[in-house]
Amino acid sequence: MFFLDVQGTLISDHDKSLIHGAKELIDFLNAKNLPYVIITNNTKKLDFLEKLQQKGLAIKENAYIDPFSVLKHLLKPCKVAAFGADEFVKSLENLGFELDFVNPSAVLVASYDDFKFVDFASMIEFARREVRFIAMHETSIYKKDGRPYPGVGSIMAMLKNAIDFKYEVVGKPSIAFYKEALNLIRRQNSKIDFEDIKIISDDFRGDLLKAKELGMKTLLVLSGKISDTKGLDTDLLDGVYPSVFEFLKELKC
């Protein structure tokens, strides 16, 4: 039973192409009827699953989850102050949310590589007013064009350093997200629990640490955010692989 990360695990951070072994891994899991769920912090495209399938990943029905999947259970369409990429904002509008930076019911924060300090000032002001805050995920770092950028988790940590406030998280590595993913994989096998799941990801801090706390087996691939285990507590990992290709070779044995 598997939770499979996407960015840096199944598709390349560099050019969004499939990583060697990704298609074959999904095909193998399907052929052997092994339960799995694709877990991603995508907050840009509502049709991201279809995009992955178009790339050649034969992801089966009820085997995909992203922050939007969790958000719909947490927040009904309302007026929101949304901070993130244009694609994120447009996706929210397509879901029925209305932009309001004066009197929003909630503040939503997603990844973005062009935040301004005026954006952070607005976030702090909303936090002071105790407006409901929702981080779309808590990724610490992500790659774009080969360069590392602070993820939403790092931005929220910065805001917490500026003002003491509470916020909710709908993406990885929140318990809410992993519980929703567990509910989804149980449609394939109702007896599955966290202890039965192996999570495969390129994100040690952003995905695997919380998964380990929940009892999952943690498998790190070095095909994305990081290329070696220097500085990592590898005792918290149950396996390290150059990519999913090597993991698949072992799985077939």
Is residue 125 within 8 Å of 99, Cβ to Cβ? no
Q: Say what the pLDDT of residue 143 is.
A: 83
- Per-residue confidence (pLDDT) for residue 64, from 0 to 100: 98
Query: What is residue 206's predicted lDDT score, i.e. its pLDDT?
Result: 85
Q: Which residue has the tokens 């699953």?
A: 49
Res 141: pLDDT: 87
Asked if 60 contacts 30 with a C-beta cutoff of 8 angstroms, the reply is yes
Amino acid 144: pLDDT: 84
Run means of pLDDT, 10 residues per run, the chain, 253 residues:
98 94 99 98 96 98 97 96 98 98 99 97 98 96 86 97 98 96 98 98 93 98 93 95 98 94
SS (H, E, C) 195-232: HHCEEEECCHHHHHHHHHHCCCEEEEECCCCCCCCCCC
Q: What angle do CA 220, 184, 248 make, to 5 degrees?
A: 35
**Fold adopted by 2-66+173-252:** Rossmann fold (3.40.50)
What are the sequence ranges of the domains in the chain? 2-66+173-252, 74-169
Same fold: 2-66+173-252 with 74-169: yes
Q: What burial class does residue 154 get, using C-beta atoms within 10 Å of its C-beta: 0-12 exposed, 13-18 middle, 19+ buried?
A: middle
User: 74-169, what's its fold?
Assistant: Rossmann fold (3.40.50)
